[in-house]
Amino acid sequence: MKIAVISDIHGNIYSLMKVFEDIDDNRVDKVICLGDLVGYGPHPNEVIALIKRREITCLKGNYDASVCDGDFTYIRDNNINSFSLPWAVEEVRNSNKYFLENLETEYRLKVGKREILFVHGSPNSISEYLFEDGSNTEEIMKNLNADILVCAHTHIPSCKMFGDKLFINDGSVGKPKNGSPNATYCILDINEETGEVKVKFRNVEYEFKRIVKDMTMLKFPSNLIQSYETGREV
């Protein structure tokens, strides 16, 4: 079974469309989105509409939750978010806020001998960062009630074994932080008979200058625009 995992689209409809083209080319069996459809980027409603139209299994991200409650409950209160959060709260339609509010925070899937847990941040919190070398990651993996943990939130793709358990972060479709503007996501290829798991990270080019132009016209902060150009947090 081939599963494509996407996340952290952050209002970037251009990258999402290119990623779906790549997913279709790879003929996967299922697509799962780990959340953060909104925040930062200028096209949150278009992103949500496309996720709905393709009937994607989708979880709630921390930015999705903050846009729903209109506060910095699940995100950092900094200069960029002081612009991005109020903008998204105003821009996202009420029907789409209802959609985001009712998303689940975890999803379990059994594929042959393997049980996979999908979350946005961690099994403990949608806003907890799990880096592959973090002490909190090691502790969570030690106590994980599944064979594979797939998470997002850091925007940095990674894959690491913790004993006999597999940790995966799928990266970010819309706002990467790995030094490249390209979209990233991952494909899990699981042999249902043997339980063998192959993880392939996909790096997808898109016309990022289009979103830069849109953000510039809307007078988004220059450091936020720059992060879409460079793939770095600034």
Q: Crossing angle, helix 208-217 and helix 13-25, to 10 degrees?
A: 160
Minimum mean pLDDT among 99-103, 203-207, 213-217, 229-233: which range?
Answer: 229-233
β 106-111/114-119 pair status: antiparallel
* DSSP strand pairing (197-204 vs 2-6): unpaired
- The phi, psi pair for 201, rounded to 5°, reads -90, 135
* pLDDT value at residue 234: 67
Separation of alpha carbons 103 and 148, rounded Å: 21
pLDDT tens, 96-138?
999 999 999 999 999 998 999 999 999 999 999 999 999 999 9
Predicted structure pTM score: 0.97
What are residue 72's phi and psi, to 5 degrees? -85, 35
2-230, which class in CATH?
alpha beta
Contacts of 195 (CB under 8 A, 6+ apart): 112, 113, 114, 147
CA distances in angstroms from 63 to 23, 44, 70, 76, 203, listed in the order given: 24, 11, 10, 10, 23
> What are the tens digits of pLDDT across the range 150-177?
999 999 999 999 999 999 999 999 999 9
What is the DSSP-derived secondary structure letter of residue 163?
T
